[in-house]
Structure 1
Amino acid sequence: MALLLHAQGAARPFRPMRRLVFALPMAHTHTGTMPSHTERTVGDTTVLELHGEIDILTEPALSARLDALTAAPGADLVVNLRPMSFIDCAGLRVLCRARNRVEARQGRLRLVTESAGFRRILRHTNLTDAFELHAQLTDALRCAGPAMSSTSAGS
Structure 2
Amino acid sequence: MLDGLFSSLAVAPLWVGYIMIFSHLHTDQTVTRYSDGYAYTEPTMKFDLSGGMLGLAIVLIIIGVVAGLAFGIWNLMIRQGRTGYSLGKGIVGIKLIREDNGQPIGAWLALGRALLHILDALPCYIGYFWPLWDKKHQTFADMIVGTVVIEAQKV
TM range (shorter): under 0.3
TM-score, structure 2 normalization: 0.25
TM-score, structure 1 normalization: 0.25
Rg (Cα) greater in structure: 2
More helix by share: 2
